[in-house]
Amino acid sequence: MTPKDNREIRDTAFDAAELERRLAATWTTPPGLLGALSTVDHKIIGRRYITTAFVFLALGGLLSLLMRLQLAQPEARFIGPDRYNQIFTTHGTNMMFLFAVPVMQAMAIYLVPLMVGTRNIAFPRLNAFSYWMYLAGGLLLWIAFVLDTGPDVGWFAYVPLAGPQYAAGKRADIWAQMITFTEVSALAVAVEIVVTVFKQRAPGMSLDRIPLFVWSMLVTSFLVILAMPAIMIASTSLILDRLVGTHFFNPAEGGDALLWQHLFWFFGHPEVYIIFLPAVGMVSTIVATFTRRPVFGYLGMVMALIATGVLAFGLWVHHMFVAGLPRLGESFFTASSMAIAVPAGLQIFCWLATMWAGKPIFKTPLLFVIGFIVIFVIGGLTGVMVASVPFDTQVHDTYFVVAHFHYVLVGGAVFPLLGAIYYWFPKLTGRMLNETTGRWVFGLIFTGFNLTFFPMHILGLRGMPRRIYTYQPEMPWSGLNMFISLSAIVLAAGFLLFFIDAIRSARAGATASANPWGATTLEWATPSPPPSYNFAKLPLVDSLEPIHDDAFLPAAIGLRVDRRELLITSVVEAAPEARESSSGDSIWPLWAALATTVALIWSIFSPWAVVWGSIPVAIALIGWFWPKDVPEDDS
């Protein structure tokens, strides 16, 4: 043994109690405000992300209730047109950029390291930075809205409406810069997840033994990495057009207004799958647990996830069917839009087959999954309808499309997410949500959702355009609008009950055991909630269901306990390759995020902000990466 080895304190040197004490000393975030602001624990950051995203969901929901109040009757004067424009823009932007994508990534931040059997996410300081950036972007949007300077150009901010000619003031700039905040955050998380899944899996977790939720987040992360640069380029170009007089989107000076639509939807359509694919993973996990059998067709499910992810990049023009492109070119996107129904259908049939062959236990998470299947199938069918150019031409920008995308996004993502919250709440908090209340929540949300959004199909077929702030009494829309607004109260009551149950259960719910559902994935092999170090000894994986029969898990040993150390494994077979240190807590990610926030907001007003604002960012990054005289080498 070398002198260096003598200094290293390994996990083999201690009994279980002493090992856990020493690991806790090494990995636990210090108490107090500084500890809270400096933490890089993926579980703490994941919980923060989830909580913040649900706060934004509640705020976005309040905006939708305001819209329904306004539209309940014809010629209502409750909200003026300018405020209404801000409300629907902030609602859409908030739900897409501040709730749907972040909450899915947040679930991954919390769960993926646990599910692959590692002690922290890759690049933990980047993870902390991503949360602060996300929070700053959200605050930017909502503070602007409260100050009556909220964006009013729709959540896809088409030019020339959002350009300098038609959108005076800073409202469109706030939208564009909020995009930068949330995309920086999302890209950071995506990189972390890809590296965590590829290089930090527990020994033996080869690619054919990865849980389907982890597969789904891996594919989603690649979608984020490939799609989101397009929208960052687009929003930056828009800011340049508005601030320094470039002409990227001005046809009069050689620019192209359609370029915006291409760039936006090259991101925007994969965005739908960035939201939906994690839900596929959640549904697969819940179905497997509550039918007491593995998901039917693991190979087919993996194929469907990857095929959907790639095909998602060939659908964007189906949002532009009325833009005047050649019909033949459009038809290619119709073809891909039809083709993507194949992997989506395959997933549905795999879940149905699993339930058919298993013994379903109808707990709240499974109820949400069944609700998801019903609603998502309806949304998928209307999706095939609007993928057809002649039909889409008729219903474009009507309430039919509003109904369709709410069926896809709420049905395809929010229902599985709520099921996932009920499922993983014990792991997140150490307490159970109330089962009886959960059934009420499901009943109210399922009923309220369908009563609210299904009639919108009919409104659209009757010609009601989206985004209008009022309508004349002679139009055949008032009865249905009143019905929809009343139904929205049922839907809101369901969400209110959910929030009450979640807050109450987090404080005083029944205590959860380590594995209350009898599940088979690794996150359930550690206490609820998990200790700061996740696993006292890293598990060894020998099958797709590593904790089957509650058998004692074999463990990988030999890691140091006197520093934060991770096991690095090979990409395909997850064979151990090295031990590597994991970054400790640091306040610098917060400073870096604050400096970046100042630079980005300042750059809405002056291009010089890019020059002068980058100095504090550089200082923060120097502090972040300053050598600590602690070897970070692999061992």
Partner 1 sequence: MSANRLRHTALVIPLLAWALSTQLGQITPYEDCQQDVPWTALASCFLLVVSIVGLAGSRATLTGLTRTERFLVNASFLIALAFVFALSLQGAATMLLDPCQR
Q: What residues line the site for partner 1 (CB under 8 A)?
A: 206-208, 299-300, 302-303, 306-307, 310-311, 313-314, 317, 324-329, 331-336, 338-339, 342-343, 572-573
Which of 40/340 has CB closer to partner 1?
Answer: 340
Strand partners, 580: 566
Q: Closest Cα to residue 153, out of 139, 180, 174?
A: 174
Q: State in angstroms the smallest separation of the CB of 563 from partner 1.
A: 32
Which of 322/611 has CB closer to partner 1?
Answer: 322
Tokens representing residue 500 in the block? 């009450």
CA distance 463 to 397: 9
Q: State in angstroms the smallest separation of the CB of 266 from partner 1.
A: 11
CA distance 309 to 366: 25
DSSP conformation class of 575: -
Helix (H) or strand (E) holding 499: helix 478-508
Q: 281: exposed, middle or buried (C-beta count within 10 Å: 0-12, 13-18, 19+)?
A: buried
Q: State in angstroms the smallest separation of the CB of 424 from partner 1.
A: 27
Contacts of 59 (CB under 8 A, 6+ apart): 94, 142
| 7-14, Cβ contacts within 8 angstroms, sequence gap of 24 or more | 8/560, 8/562, 9/560, 9/561, 9/562, 10/557, 10/558, 10/559, 10/560, 10/561, 11/536, 11/537, 11/557, 11/558, 11/559, 11/560, 11/561, 12/557, 12/558, 14/561
Which of 310/458 has CB closer to partner 1?
Answer: 310
Which of 326/627 has CB closer to partner 1?
Answer: 326
Which of 332/612 has CB closer to partner 1?
Answer: 332
Which of 255/314 has CB closer to partner 1?
Answer: 314
Q: State in angstroms the smallest separation of the CB of 295 from partner 1.
A: 15
Which of 206/614 has CB closer to partner 1?
Answer: 206
SS3 606: coil
Tokens representing residue 584 in the block? 């400790």
Q: Which amino acid is at 396?
A: H
Q: State in angstroms the smallest separation of the CB of 356 from partner 1.
A: 22
Q: State in angstroms the smallest separation of the CB of 41 from partner 1.
A: 32
CA distance 573 to 400: 47
Q: State in angstroms the smallest separation of the CB of 375 from partner 1.
A: 24
Q: State in angstroms the smallest separation of the CB of 335 from partner 1.
A: 4
Which of 145/333 has CB closer to partner 1?
Answer: 333
Q: Closest Cα to residue 546, out of 528, 526, 530?
A: 526
**Cα separations (Å) of 89 from 150, 395, 414, 459?**
8, 21, 20, 21
Residue found under tokens 């504090």:
616
Which of 136/230 has CB closer to partner 1?
Answer: 230
Helix (H) or strand (E) holding 108: helix 101-116
Which of 9/310 has CB closer to partner 1?
Answer: 310
Q: State in angstroms the smallest separation of the CB of 340 from partner 1.
A: 8
Q: State in angstroms the smallest separation of the CB of 308 from partner 1.
A: 9
